[in-house]
Chain A
Amino acid sequence: MQEILQYIFSGITNGAIYAIIAVGFSLLYNSTEIINFAHGEFVMIGALSLVTLWGSFHLPLPLAFVLTIVVVSGTGLLFERFAIRTVKKPDHIVLVIITVGASIFLRGIAMLIWGKDAYSIPPFSSNPPIDIAGARLLIQSIWIIVISLLSVVALYFFYNKTLTGKAIRACAINKKAAWLTGIPSGKMVMLSFVLSIGMGAVAGLIIAPITMCSYDMGTMLGLKGFCAAMLGGLGSLWGALIGGFILGILEAMGVGFVSSSLKDAIAFVLLLLILFIRPGGIIQSKDVQRF
Chain B
Amino acid sequence: MKPIKPIKKTVAGRFPRDKIYYIFFSLAVILTGLFVSNSYYLQVLTFIGINSILALSLNMLMGYAGQVSLGHAAFYGIGAYTTAILTVHYNLSPWLALPCAIFIAIFVAFLVGIPTLKLTGFYLGMGTLGFGMIVNIIFREWTDLTGGASGFVGIPSLELGPVSFYSMRNYFYLVWAALLLSIIVCKRLVNSRIGRALRSIHDSAHAAEAVGINTRNLKIQVFVLSAAFAALAGFLYAHLVSFISPGSFDFMMSVRIVTMVVIGGMASIWGSLLGASLLTLLPEWLHAFSDFEMVVYGLILMLIMIVLPQGLTKGLIDIYERSKKKDNS
Chain A residues engaging chain B, CB cutoff 8 angstroms: 33, 35, 83, 86-89, 91-94, 96-98, 100-109, 111-112, 219, 223, 226-227, 230, 234, 261-262, 264-265, 268-269, 271-272, 275-276, 279
Of the listed residues B129, B258, B292, B296, the one surrounded by the most CB atoms of chain A closer than 10 A to its CB is B129
Of the listed residues A86, A89, A94, the one surrounded by the most CB atoms of chain B closer than 10 A to its CB is A94
Interface size range of chain B in the complex = 35 or more
The prevalent SS among residues of B at the interface is: helix
Q: Mark B66-91, 1 if CB is under 8 A from A, else 0.
A: 00101000000000000000000000
In the docked arrangement, what's the CA distance between A261 and B125, Å?
25
Do A94 and B130 touch across chains, with their CB atoms under 8 A apart? no
Of the listed residues A86, A89, A103, A275, the one surrounded by the most CB atoms of chain B closer than 10 A to its CB is A275
Q: Mark B107-127, 1 if CB is under 8 A from A, else 0.
A: 000000001101101110111
Do B298 and A108 touch across chains, with their CB atoms under 8 A apart? yes
Instruction: Give the nearest-CB partner of B115 in chain A.
Output: A276
The prevalent SS among residues of A at the interface is: helix
| A102 and B122 in contact, given A87-B309, A268-B130, A271-B130 (Cβ under 8 angstroms) | no
Do A89 and B310 touch across chains, with their CB atoms under 8 A apart? yes
3 A-B pairs with the lowest CB-CB distances in the bound complex, closest first: A105-B298, A108-B294, A101-B301
A108 neighbours in B (Cβ, 8 Å): 292-298
Interface: B281 (CB within 8 A):
no
A33 neighbours in B (Cβ, 8 Å): 122
Instruction: Give the nearest-CB partner of B266 in chain A.
Output: A93
Chain B residues engaging chain A, CB cutoff 8 angstroms: 62, 68, 70, 115-116, 118-119, 121-123, 125-127, 129-131, 133-134, 137, 141, 251, 255, 258-259, 262-263, 266, 291-302, 305-307, 309-310
Instruction: Give the nearest-CB partner of A105 in chain B.
Output: B298
Do A223 and B305 touch across chains, with their CB atoms under 8 A apart? no
Select which of A83, A93, A272 is within 8 A of B302 by beta carbon. A83
In the docked arrangement, what's the CA distance between A108 and B263, Å?
21
Do B306 and A98 touch across chains, with their CB atoms under 8 A apart? yes
In whole Å, how far is B274's beta carbon from the nearest beta carbon of chain A? 16
A104 neighbours in B (Cβ, 8 Å): 294, 297-298, 301
Do B68 and A96 touch across chains, with their CB atoms under 8 A apart? yes
Do B119 and A264 touch across chains, with their CB atoms under 8 A apart? no
Select which of B137, B291, B297, B306 is within 8 A of A262 by beta carbon. B137
A111 neighbours in B (Cβ, 8 Å): 291, 294
| A227 and B130 in contact, given A100-B301, A105-B294 (Cβ under 8 angstroms) | yes
B131 neighbours in A (Cβ, 8 Å): 268, 272
